Structure 1
Amino acid sequence: MHEVNLRTLDLNLLVVLQALLEARHVSHAAERLNMSQPAVSRALGRLREMFGDALLVRSPSGLVLTERARDLQQPLADALTGISRLVAEPGFDPTTATTPVRLGCLDLEAAIYLAPAVERLRRAAPGMPVEIHSHPDDYFGLLAEGRLHLAISALEPRQRQAEFHRRVIDTIWSECLMSRDNPLASGPMTLDRYLRARHGVVAITGKGPAIMDQRLEAMGRNRRVVLRLSSFFNVPDSCVGTDVVFSLPHRIASRLARDSLLVTRPLPEALQSAGFPMYLYWHSRHHGDPMHQWLRRLVMNGAADMASDPEKEHERLGGSQATP
């Protein structure tokens, strides 16, 4: 590896490189940078000479990244973020901020945990647009790439765990959601009655067994799953007027049970647990950033208010008719 003379390094080229690696198109990168296409093409030539690699090569589907370019993406993003922090003025004023805020979680988690935070953010920082990424995705990868500021999830990263920070914002347990005229809506909720029922499952990723089925398998038991959905929002229509039962995180079940035709009930005692944590995640690249610190406090305070005040949640969800 040859030694690089930083005095001869043009940092503007690194900004152009990031735009090229993200856009994978010279014209689109030029538009993003407010530069002419010939100027970006010249910069690409200098970058190829600097790195001794083509970086972007033509293919039938357009420009694609070389292996060297793919290896550069994350270090480049980290370096430019660090330089931005280095030269940025300390402190953060939400009243004048215009930086877009990018948050990630599933739709119903956004409704439960982010709605109060977004309301506060709009009041405190009216110039900051809010983008909520609610499609099922690898939120940890998006955090690592800098495409999200925060993510809410009960999952844990499978790799590069040391790069992430997290804070518990709620404790979740499961309960049953069903039509109010379902046979399980009244009478004792025994394990045998629960297992004899017809069950629905929400499989966001569409892969693998549900957590409840894994628990039952460990007990040597099983239930009859007759319906698999990919979205929580389809659950109410699947319950009303049917005998299908869903076992869901209690805040999601309460959110859906605002329909007076639905009720919630506890799981059988043998399946009840102490609950599992819901986390707010962020990447270490943003840990010391004043704007991000302010945003984290705002989201955590909003989630804490909702989690600690059932009456407030009940009121916000429209007066759920859930039963104990």
Structure 2
Amino acid sequence: MTKHVNLNLLRSLKVLLEECHVSQAAARLNLTQSAVSRHLSQLRELFADPLLIRDGNLLVPTPKALQLQQQLATWFVALDNMMTEEVFEPSLWHGEFVLSSSDYVAQYILPELVNVFAEQSPHLTLNYQLWHPHLIDQLNPSGIHLASSMSLARPEGVSSLPIGEDRCVCLMSLHHPLAKQTTLCVDDLLAYAHIKIHAGGDKDSFVEQELSKLGLARRITLNVPFFSAAAQALCKQPLLLVTPEHIARHLAVEHELTYKPLPIPTPLDKYWLVWHEKYDKDPSHIWVRNLVRQVMTDVKASVGYDLKS
């Protein structure tokens, strides 16, 4: 009896038991009287019971039919509730959200996100993880709901939302020997040691690629995952850091730093919010990723930089 049950048959049965009249049931179901009669015949075979017995102009339900009527009433209410699209209300959301990014986002954007979440979704628990490029293939097992990353092209195998683009520059102390120059040459890049940021995405591997075409290589003396550590090192030592311009501009606001255009071909870096495709239609996820995108845009604008998103 439970195999291949047609949902339309059960809905017809529900209405038939409420009306106890084939033509009236047909009108409610927007079906022909003959179609409802066929449904009733199929239902009698399905449940091995006459279900409705004719008594004059009315149909009288059998005990089996009355039992089914109670079950169908509860079942269809649950089904209708399940099929009704739930309206997401951030202020009532008791959930947990895992956000991953470079420490730049954690330092300059996360505080603004926390403020907005506290105001609009006060019951949300936000967990932050430092982003590494290899996690792009592990979004589901890592438990990361949303990540901010950068790559030259749209990431493959995940869902994504573009959040802007810019080019890298060379960041240095205001007191660096190169700080007073308007432009840099390749020899300038090679004359001083460099810092490399190894978290958040591929920011500067193009430098090695372009220099290798000339048979040259720069010297890396400090590898760190944090921009704050890199900025402090730049202030104390005559080092160089190749970094996206919007980050350089933000760091220069808070530290005695300046930046110059690079003397080598510089690709256009693109920034993305990425997530596992299972969250594509999730209302809470849609709300968070749109909010994160807006806050990122606002923070960039606060230091006078447009990511050209």
Give the TM-score category using the shorter length. Answer: 0.5 to 0.7
What is the correspondence of 1:134-213 to structure 2 with a 5 Å cutoff?
134=130, 136=132, 138-145=134-141, 147-155=143-151, 161-162=156-157, 164-187=158-181, 188-204=183-199, 210-213=205-208
Residues 172-211 of structure 1: CA distance to partner in whole angstroms, max 9, x if unpaired?
3211221211111012422322222222222339x9x943
- Equivalences for residues 37-186 of structure 1 within 5 A: 90-134=86-130, 136=132, 138-145=134-141, 147-155=143-151, 161-162=156-157, 164-186=158-180
Q: Which residue is equivalent to 2:276?
A: 283
- 2:76 corresponding residue in structure 1: none
Q: Which residue of 2 aligns with 1:306?
A: 299
The superposition leaves residues 244-299 of structure 1 with CA deviations (integer Å, 9 ceiling, x where unpaired) of: 1111122332333334432222222x3444x2101001111111111111112111
The TM-score, its normalising length taken from structure 1, stands at 0.60
- Give SS of 2:118's match: helix
State the partner residue of 1:237: 232
Task: Compute the displacement of 1:113 (Å).
Answer: 4.3
Report the RMSD for the aligned CA atoms in angstroms.
3.4
Residues 179 and 239, structure 1, Cα contact 8 Å, conserved in 2: yes
Query: In the TM superposition, what whole-angstrom CA distance separates every residue of 1:224-262 from its partner, at most 9, and x where no partner exists?
Result: 333333433321232223211111122332333334432
Counterpart-to-counterpart distance in 2, 1:146 and 1:93: 27
Could you tell me how far apart the structure 2 residues matched to 1:97 and 1:127 are? 6
CA distance in structure 1 between the aligned counterparts of 2:305 and 2:121, rounded to whole angstroms: 24
For residues 176 and 312 of structure 1, the distance between their equivalents in structure 2, rounded to whole angstroms, comes to 17
Instruction: Note closer, same or farther for the CA distance 1:167–1:271 as it changes in structure 2 (3 Å cut).
Output: same
Q: Is the 8 A contact 1:170 1:307 kept in 2?
A: no
Q: 1:185 to 1:158 in 2, by over 3 A?
A: closer
CA distance in 1, matches of 2:140, 2:84: 21
Q: Aligned AA for 2:169? A: E
- In structure 1, give the amino acid aligned to 2:139: L
Contact 1:170 1:303 in 2 (8 A): no
Correspondence 1:223 to 2:218: yes
Q: TM-score if structure 2 supplies the norm length?
A: 0.62
Q: 1:204 to 1:284 in 2, by over 3 A?
A: closer
The answer to whether the 8 Å contact 1:104/1:139 transfers is no
Counterpart-to-counterpart distance in 2, 1:189 and 1:265: 7
- Distance in 2, Cα, partners of 1:145 & 1:89: 28
C-alpha distance in structure 1 between counterparts of 2:142 and 2:180, whole Å: 49
Contact 1:175–1:253 (CA under 8 A) maintained in structure 2: yes
If you compute each CA radius of gyration, which structure gives the higher value, 1 or 2? 2
1:150 & 1:105 partners in 2: Cα distance?
A: 9
The alignment partner of 1:189 has SS state of: coil
Deviations along 1:55-87, one digit per CA (max 9) or x if unpaired, are: xxxxxxxxxxxxxxxxxxxxxxxxxxxxxx968
Give the number of equivalent residue pairs: 226
Q: Secondary structure at the match of 1:234?
A: helix
Aligned identity (percent) is: 24
Instruction: Tell me if structure 1 keeps the 8 A contact 2:151–2:270.
Output: no
C-alpha separation in 1, matches of 2:124 and 2:88: 12
CA spacing shift, 1:218–1:242, aligned 2, 3 Å: same
